[in-house]
Structure 1
Amino acid sequence: MAGNMHFTVILTIIVLSALPAAAAQAGTPVTLPVEVVGENGTTSSVTVEIPTPLARQVRSLWIEIHGLSYAGMVSVEINEGNWVSLNNDTVSVAEPGKSYGGIGGGFPTLKVTLPLKEGAVVGGTNIIRFRFDRTDGLASGFRVLAFNFLTSDSIKVLKPDAFKEEDPNTWTPPFRDSASLLAGRQLWQSATLTASGLQNAPRIRAHCSDCHAYDGRDLKYFGYSNASIVARSRFHGLSTLQGQQIASYIRSLPVPSPGRPWNPPYQPGPGLDAQPVANWAAGAGLSWVLDSDTATLPFVFRPKGDLARQPDIGNAPESAIVAAITPDVFRPDGNLNPREIPISLQLPDWNHWLPRVHPLDAWGPAFENSEFSELYGSTDYASSGGRRAPRASRQSLRGILASPDLSKLISSGRIIAYFEKWTNARRALLKPYVERAPVEWSPDLANKAYSTQLWQLMKTWEITQEFGLEGRGRELFGSTGESRTWFNAIPAATAPSAVNIPDGPSGMGGSALTNEYFNASWYQLQVLLNSGNHRHRDRSPVDWLYLIGGFQDLYRESRRPEPARLLVTLIKAMQSTDPRIGPEDRAQGWRPDQSVNPTIMVNEAWAPMFEALSREVRRAITESLLSAWLDKNLQYPLGRYFTVGLTDNNYALPANYGDISGPNVWDATPLFTAANVNPEVVTRLQKWSAAYTAVAARFQYSPKSPARSRETGKRF
């Protein structure tokens, strides 16, 4: 019997490895993605060939799907079987998407597995149909990025050569004549639209160019297909012909097209900096969204030697990672590059950058007559060099950036002040709605406020791209600045919490979990786009204490710790000050009592966040972080930390975040010892702390720590 079992296993392996390849050679490869866009009931189908021996072993259908945002949106049919609606009960959602709500949660792209009955797949030709069942007033379709049939052992039946990727470079405009291109541009800028594809949807004041980049460059840049543009045009009340004219205009734009709709803008990953800065916004792609947070560790603590150059560095053994955990990684004078470090948090796709309702339709004359609107530029259009651009006054950002003095504007730092003025103007516009007491939050009010935030973020991207700002940071920050950066804190200002949108039914996505996902995502984007360029001033451009505390808020809802992403943020917080400025400069210099300190690694409130790390990895990180923190402190004579007659006005995190800021790191000495930190490092901490305390006493120094609520985040 043992011999027969052995023969059966070998036969199965031979069948699984050989037959699919033969089938793929005989059939026509399926072109991916499978795009299903249009009205309710729109269906797309694909055909695959499967040999009979393999068909009998199929037990499920695995799908990677972009835009599956609510239950009842998508159904699947195999051959002539029953249609199955995809929801969190009918499919299993893969991590990490499952922890962020699965279908109806935060992630724009999910990997799901649909169980199949025996016999659902037949030997020979199989037809899979994907159907867009109904819109929720926002969606107009979805995309199947990949799929495969799986055996009971989760072995993929279809081989890679059964598929081919669509090449956007082969796309052509529906029309090429100048009249159609002109008509498309005019429709883009001024066509009257309806709010959605729902029956009796009202007309809106905004035009296509108001909720997108004014010239439509975002659709070209992120690779939206002709079919998706036509479908969205019909969704907003235009005809098929008008949609084709708009698509023709978009195809004609002289801008690059490195992105795709499903690849999150600025998603970090290896090799991103090696690409032209014009490609940065396209991100590293979904392939660099990791399945687990701890898979990030080898990219932070890179193993030495040949292992560091291996393509599967993410699978480095723990011993190699531990050996690479050194104080140098945490060095405050260093510059960790988060753009090249992949994470498991999938950032919002471009669709989630776009406002759901334009501020003009949300607030009417209050927006139309506001400084916030004026500082962007008028919503009417003026001819400019053969194209049309928003009318720019001298006071608007557009007018300022279009001036011949752009280089001086950047090198002087005035560009930062102009963006700050625009953000303050947005705060002034929203204040009567979101800061009055009490605010009666509703999904409608939250949607309007959040859409106003998104409008500013999207228009910031538009301006940044048009004027080529991303590669000019070193004109202001010098050679130590980032090779690519933004000049503002608008990504962080896009977090729902920045306008006090509460967790719960009125939160974005209708839940505390999804609301916190968007908080975390926009704060993460801020770290990627502008973490301070070693020019941190007070709490700008990033309030590190608040941002790091937000990891607790997301964990409270997801129950999914992210120690590696947290460590990247912690390192960037330590590296946010100018190495040339000492602690006597309380706004810009190194202040060990003004940011998150090494006690976060041993604080009880943060223990769940680091449980995913082994004891040895946790010990090595704690020891190296503490050593780097001490090394930086010891660079300066103790007297430079104090000023006669002045006391630090520290602010404390909410109690549930734990006591992880402030000067009294030495109080955690027993905890560092219990964590097996090298006794020599603990002794150094004790000696420095004793000397620091003695000098503080001579200055009669006593830091103040007023209570601080999470509403501090609304400063962005």
Structure 2
Amino acid sequence: MAAVMVTAGLLVGCGGDGGGTDTGPVGTTPPAENPASSPASPTTPTTPTTPTTPTTPTTPSPAASGPTTALQLPLEVLGDGLPNTPVVATANLTLDAAGVGAATQLWFQCHRCGFFGPPEFEATRYAPTQIKASLRVLGGVSADNAADIPWVDITDSTVTLADAERVQGGLNRGGLYTVRISYALDANTRARLVNGMNLVQFRFNGTDGESNGFRVIALQVRNAAGQSLATNAVQRDNIALEKDAGKTMSDAVTAGQTLWNGRGLLLKSALTGRSIQAACASCHASDGRDLQYFNYSNHAIVQRSRFHGLSQAQGQQIAAFLRYSLQSVPHVAQAAPWNPPYQPGPGLDSRPLAEWSAGAGLDAVVDSPADAVKALFGQPRDGTALALTQTDVDRVMDATATLNTREVAMPIQFPDWNAYLPAMHPMDIWPSGSAGGAWETGATFAGNGKLDPLGTYKKIGAWFQSHQNPNGVHGDWSHLTPEQRNEIQSLLQPSGFELYAFAGGGRGNHIASSGHYGAQVGAANLQQLASSTNTAREPAAFTTHAFIERAVGSLFQWNVVQHWEWAQRYGLEGNQQWFIGDYDASTKTWKGRGEARGWPFNTVSAFYLAPHMVYQTDTDSSGKVTREWILAWETGNRVGSYYRTNAWYQAQVSINPGAQSDWVNFSVDWPYLTGFDEYLANEIGGTTSAQGTAGLLSRIRLLQARIKSAQYVNNAIPLYVASDTGSLINNRGRFGRGQVLKHLMPTSFMDASSTQGTAYSQFSGLSQLQSGLPLLVLNGALKQFNQVYASTNPADWRRCDPNNNDLGEPEPTAGFAFCVDRSKRALPLLSPGVYGMTSVGDRITPEQKLQYSVWKAQQLGADASRINTLNAWVGRLWP
């Protein structure tokens, strides 16, 4: 098996797992072009060619004299993905004699070193690769003489991941797209190290059908204490230079424009050899600005082009077009394929609006529980012991304030840009001639009239284009009239729901009782292309339900890319109040709602990319649920799936918390967010220190979500609208503060006993960080609960009806309940002087929780005035 070889610093990628636009330094040798990558006919796969001959690396040999050579990063290991021509990248690390003697491990940070997408289902030229990446440490041996040095596959069993990555999913289909890895150097490897230049090689073994490589963004030789030993400097690629070099018009620009927009020119992948209808412009931002903004390299564009069946020359033309046509897109150095968009961090709001999408970078992801608490409560992360006061806690746990979730560093890594990009374009899932209709012309599926989300989105884009401010200031929408604001809000809000209706059904169920929803039609179209050879490898990933998930997931990805493009092209990430608010038709006035920054799309958005929103429930012959909340190909890595659901939910809170809308589920469904913070913590477990830390970090995120949700629901939406006849599911009160009553209960912040046992507080672990901290948080919870509920009129509440099942189960304990009980019962006495709550089937009614909150808070020593305020309201609810 031959390999294409490149030197350190050469590669950066675009789309899939590579996806991007970064070229390497002048004078390096590009990977040899594989003739098999030329476009194929729509029906006949091209024939694989003889493996290419490896190019010669230009890295100086270890014996070369002269100045130390800098380590160039990122090290991009990208190619067309064909397993018969793996890509090898070589890096150099210089050690002195002391470093040679002390070296024990190779440490590196890798962007997408594992596979994350669904396994390939179509016929392929070669078997899809199972292990994506390999490495070997050559030390002082030149690459030309390294044939006898074995490659080591990078797997969870051969390397050691940092704790957060290891216990939250690992490499393949794990929770984090960028991971920190240590590889222990054995005696044979250490014997190859020399006083001088030492070589390390990474290999991309081939594609799974979706990815075309990975990136090493940091690389060190370390001693046992974790200290870096290499003495040569690190030089990072400057993508601004590539952008500057591409500002000149040429014939390549014109050719590249044609290729970028050309339909029917691409292969699904070089592995399948099947032609698709989607163009480059179909899955990315239509003008390619995502590749320019997130600083993908020219080389990455070229390699992704080759992955999709174009030649190297054609990929270079596409890169030329993008660089020339997108000169006006601001260069944001922080933006990178591995830096998660919108990752929160201190100071983001003070940066220019154009920089917000880049996020605060991977360094803003918090690993320490103490630092996570400090970040949440606005304390400096200075290495000192945690020492919060009640004033510090109350300042943040305030339902009348606005917690800035864009600037609070979070203990979770947001998804990278590649996770936004559609695995398949809707036009290739619902092509012309599909049953019920096609993506490009609209469709009629079971239970719905004609649906044309593409037409709707074109209309929205045209509206923004025609209504830009005449002053020419990007992102200034202050000129809009109240009528215009209402007009665009009326277009945006239903657009995501039309798209969802195109798929049909609801979360976990896209199967119609009669006829077929769009998700079923799309799944059937994809299944017709399935190869028994590939589907036999992992049967559970190729069921009808799994194909429904492929269709639904790609549809939601396409949706969010449209949102990002609108936000960037038209500067919509500023004042949300310009686009989200209440219009009074009688007075023709507008009352805006929202935060200083955020997407104005109060509809189906990033939240819906979570596996928990995409999955299709599996059941057995008796109707018993056998799989839910995770995707079909994630059954072996539930914790990784839960992490990614958490990441999308948390990202939505930063990108667009929804501006206290009537539609509490859009853009953030607060009960889902808080529920998965708990689910992930429980799934991780706590038998090891690393698991305990990860679980505590998840619960700190839960605390943030409880705080933010209290602020979010502290609005003027009625508690219950008696005149809203019909099912309770449509009552306006369901979208107000009543729905989260159970989540903001003080019982959610304390150990709570019932007739079925004791539920321990999710926040008791905070005492490990600071003695007495759980009590400070309980006091904060009492404060925010009283702010949201204690002033409400008991007559305004709906009283629970045990016989009403509109919400899917008896109303008093239903998941979406927004009522209080008709009467109260005395708390049961569990033992002398110790009360509990009456619990049936692990469900407890609001009146039991409220009474217990008063009693237990007193026992715990909570603030008396806050307890009295709560007790007085409970007395008014049930005199």
Q: TM-score, normalising length from structure 1?
A: 0.82
Match of 1:63 in 2: 108
Q: Counterpart of 1:548?
A: 674
Is the 2:110–2:215 Cα contact (8 Å) retained in structure 1?
yes
Quote the Cα distance in structure 2 between the aligned partners of 1:363 and 1:465.
Answer: 28
Distance of 2:451 and 2:304 partners within structure 1: 26
For 1:400 and 1:546, how far apart are their aligned partners in 2? Answer: 33
Match of residue 565, structure 1, among 701, 706, 713: 701
What residue is the counterpart of 2:329 in the other structure?
255
Question: Is residue 677 of structure 1 aligned with residue 780 of structure 2?
Answer: no
Q: Does 1:194 align with 2:257?
A: no
- Structure-1 separation of matches of 2:792 and 2:175: 48
Alpha carbons of structure 1 residues 444 and 646: separation in structure 2 relative to 1, 3 Å: closer
The corresponding residue for 2:750 is 602
TM (norm. structure 2) is 0.68
For residues 350-365 of structure 1, what are the structure 2 equivalents within 5 Å?
Answer: 350-364=417-431, 365=434
Counterpart AA for 1:318: L
Say which SS state the counterpart of residue 659 (structure 2) adopts.
coil
CA contact (8 A) 1:196 1:235 kept: yes
Q: Is the 8 A contact 2:306 2:312 kept in 1?
A: yes
| Aligned-pair Cα RMSD in Å | 3.3
Indicate yes or no: 2:196 matched with 1:124: yes
Match of 1:689 in 2: 874
- How far residue 237 of structure 1 moved from its aligned partner, in angstroms, is 0.2
SS in 2 for 1:284: coil
Q: Is the counterpart of residue 74 in structure 1 residue 133 in structure 2? A: yes
After superposition, what is the alpha-carbon deviation per residue over 1:259-300, rounded to whole angstroms, capped at 9, x for unaligned?
Answer: 110011111111111111121111111110112354221122
Moved more, 33-42 or 415-424: 415-424
**Which of these residues, 222, 226, 240, is aligned with residue 154 of structure 1?**
226
Counterpart pick for 2:660 among 523, 529, 534: 534
* Structure 1 residue 454, shift from structure 2 partner: 0.6
Residue by residue over 1:205-238, the C-alpha shift from the partner in whole angstroms, topping out at 9 and shown as x without a partner, is 1111111011101000100001100000000000
Residues 1:279 and 2:355 aligned together: yes
d(CA) in 2 for partners of 1:579, 1:221: 37
2:640 is aligned with 1:514: yes
Deviation at 1:688, TM superposition (A): 2.9
Worse-matched range after superposition: 102-111 or 122-131 = 122-131
1:485 touches 1:529 (CA, 8 Å); kept in 2?
yes
Give the unaligned 5+ runs of structure 2. 1-65, 116-129, 142-148, 444-449, 469-476, 515-519, 521-542, 582-590, 617-627, 686-693, 722-732, 753-757, 805-810, 817-839
Taking structure 1 as reference, are residues 678 and 639 closer, same or farther at Cα in structure 2, changes over 3 Å only?
Answer: closer
Matches within 5 A, 1:657-676: 664-676=849-861
Residues 544, 596 of structure 1: 8 Å contact kept = no
Task: State the Cα deviation string for residues 356-407 of structure 1 (Å, max 9, x = none).
Answer: 11111122243233269844349xxxxxxxxxxx9x4xxx222333333883
2:567 alignment partner in structure 1: 464
- Deviations for 1:566-594, whole angstroms, at most 9, x for unmatched residues? 11111111011455677688467654864
Q: Following TM superposition, by how much is the alpha carbon of 1:113 offset from its aligned partner in structure 2, in angstroms? A: 0.3
Question: Could you tell me which of 248, 252, 256 is aligned with 1:184?
Answer: 256
Q: Is 1:398 equivalent to 2:474 in the alignment?
A: no
Residues 272-421 of structure 1: matches in 2 within 5 Å? 272-303=348-379, 308=380, 312-313=381-382, 315-319=383-387, 321-322=388-389, 325-364=392-431, 365=434, 366-370=438-442, 374-377=452-455, 392=458, 396-404=459-467, 407-408=480-481, 412-421=485-494
Query: Compared with structure 1, are the counterparts of its residues 273 and 671 closer, same or farther at alpha carbon in structure 2 (3 Å cutoff)?
Result: same
Instruction: Return the letter of the residue paired with 1:370.
Output: G
Structure 1 position 644, deviation (Å):
10
CA contact (8 A) 1:27 1:48 kept: no
Unaligned 5+ residue runs, structure 1?
A: 1-24, 379-389, 695-716
Give, as a single letter, the amino acid of the residue that structure 1 aligns with 2:346. Answer: P
Aligned pair count reads 643
How far 1:640 sits from its partner (Å)? 6.2
* Alpha-carbon distance in structure 2 between the residues aligned to 1:154 and 1:622: 39
> Cα distance 1:575–1:481, how it changes in 2: closer, same or farther (>3 A)?
same
Q: Is the 8 A contact 1:48 1:126 kept in 2?
A: yes
Whichever residue aligns with residue 547 of structure 2, its letter is D
Rounded to whole Å, the distance in 2 between the matches of 1:342 and 1:36 is: 30
8 Å contact kept, 1:194–1:237: yes
Q: Which amino acid aligns with 2:612?
A: S
Offset of residue 539 of structure 1: 4.2
What is the letter of the counterpart of residue 207 of structure 2?
A: T
Q: Is the partner of 2:179 in helix, strand or coil? A: strand
- Determine helix, strand or coil for the equivalent of 1:273: helix
Asked if the contact 1:273/1:339 (under 8 Å) is kept, the reply is: yes
3-state SS, counterpart of residue 350 of structure 2: coil
The CA distance in 2 between the partners of 1:206 and 1:346, in whole Å, is 30
How do 1:158-237 residues align onto structure 2 when only pairs under 5 Å count?
Answer: 158=230, 162-172=233-243, 173=245, 176-190=248-262, 192-198=265-271, 200-237=272-309
Contact 1:601 1:607 in 2 (8 A): no
Structure-2 change in CA distance of 1:293 and 1:491 (3 Å):
farther
Q: Which residue of 2 aligns with 1:9?
A: none
- 1:606/1:285 CA distance change after superposition, 3 Å: farther
SS at match of 1:203: coil
| 2:750–2:761 Cα contact (<8 Å) kept | no
Cα displacement string for residues 120-177 of structure 1 (whole angstroms, at most 9, x for unaligned residues): 4222221111111111111111111101111122222136x72122221111557944
Paired amino acid for 2:594: G
Instruction: State the shift of 1:607 in Å.
Output: 3.4
- Corresponding letter in the other structure for 1:270: P
Is 1:87 aligned to 2:155, yes or no?
Answer: yes
Structure richer in helix, relative to its length? 1
Deviates most, 139-148 or 668-677:
668-677
In 1: Cα distance, 2:206 partner to 2:847 partner: 53
Question: Judging changes above 3 Å, is the alpha-carbon distance between structure 1 residues 588 and 177 closer, same or farther for their aligned structure 2 residues?
Answer: closer
Instruction: Measure, in 2, the Cα distance between the counterparts of 1:611 and 1:676.
Output: 15
Quickly say closer, same or farther: Cα 1:608–1:143, change in 2 above 3 A: farther
Q: Name the aligned partner's letter for residue 613 of structure 1.
A: L
> CA 1:592/1:398 → structure 2, altered by over 3 Å: closer, same or farther?
closer
Distance 2:200 2:267 in 1: 33
Distance in 1 between residues matched to 2:706 and 2:504, nearest whole Å: 32
Q: Secondary structure at the match of 1:326?
A: helix
